[in-house]
């Protein structure tokens, strides 16, 4: 077994050899090692048992990866906007320094402690603190951040939907009990209402291990 298939097997996924399904592309800035650790933890947590559950788990993994990217994007956009925010605050808004000094302080603020202290003192003259820089940076990026928030909300909804689909699939599979061979004679499959009741009784703990559910059903006869 090659290294890729071996690592895929350790993830608990049944389709590691199908790259068009199982492979989640990473960016050059993302750690393949950290991604493998996350995949292993996710596979262990979801405890997938068949290819349908594996495909849903792969969707959850991809959505979580995209969500982390967008959150990093928001943070870095705000950091990148700090110099312009400092210049606007000191010169355009507060008008406490001339434009050249504001530009110089903005350029040196991230690396020069003296510039940081000077900016802090100027802001204190207007009864502001350094958090005003964050506020100005976020204000200037409001349309972009709003769009990113909508994308994050969509990803979070899709993640929750995939997890709920996995839970519903597992519960429906257990309620139908397709793992047992068909019975001969007069014994019939439980009525639909009884099967629905069995599914509903398990919704309070949707992540319970299927084996534990089967053992409980065998003991109780439900």
Q: 71 and 152 in contact (C-beta within 8 Å)?
A: yes
Q: 15 and 22 in contact (C-beta within 8 Å)?
A: yes
Residue 95 confidence (pLDDT): 93
Quick: pLDDT tens for 20-30. 566 778 899 99
Average pLDDT for residues 99-105, to the nearest whole number?
A: 94
Residue 40 confidence (pLDDT): 84
The token duo for 195 is: 């099967």
Quick: pLDDT tens for 135-184. 999 999 999 999 999 999 999 999 999 999 998 888 887 766 544 544 54
pLDDT at 3 exceeding the cut of 60:
no
CA–CA distance, 51 with 183 (Å, rounded to integer): 27
133-142 burial by CB neighbour count: b if 16+ within 10 A, else e? Answer: beebbeebbe
Quick: pLDDT tens for 16-67. 555 656 677 889 999 989 988 888 888 888 888 877 888 888 889 999 999 9
Confidence of residue 112 (pLDDT cuts 50, 70, 90): very high
């Amino acid at each position: 077994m090659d290294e890729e298939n071996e690592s895929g097997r350790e993830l608990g996924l049944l389709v590691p050899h199908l790259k068009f399904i199982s492979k989640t592309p990473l960016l050059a800035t993302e750690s393949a090692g950290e991604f493998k650790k996350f995949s292993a933890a996710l596979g262990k947590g979801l405890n997938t048992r068949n290819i349908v559950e594996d495909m849903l788990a792969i969707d959850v993994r991809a959505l979580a990866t995209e969500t982390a990217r967008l959150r990093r994007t928001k943070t870095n956009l705000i950091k990148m906007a700090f110099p312009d925010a400092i210049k606007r605050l000191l010169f355009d808004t507060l008008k406490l320094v001339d434009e050249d000094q504001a530009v110089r302080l903005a350029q040196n603020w991230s690396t020069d402690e003296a510039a940081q202290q000077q900016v802090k003192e100027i802001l204190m003259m207007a009864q502001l603190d350094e958090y005003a820089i964050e506020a100005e940076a976020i204000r200037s990026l409001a349309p972009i951040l709003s769009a990113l928030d909508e994308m994050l909300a969509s990803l979070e909804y899709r993640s929750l939907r995939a997890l709920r689909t996995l839970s519903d699939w597992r519960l429906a599979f257990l309620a139908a009990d397709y793992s047992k061979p068909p019975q001969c004679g007069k014994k019939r499959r439980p009525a639909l209402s009884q099967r629905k009741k069995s599914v509903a009784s398990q919704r309070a703990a949707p992540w319970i291990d299927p084996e534990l559910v089967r053992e409980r059903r065998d003991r109780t006869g439900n």
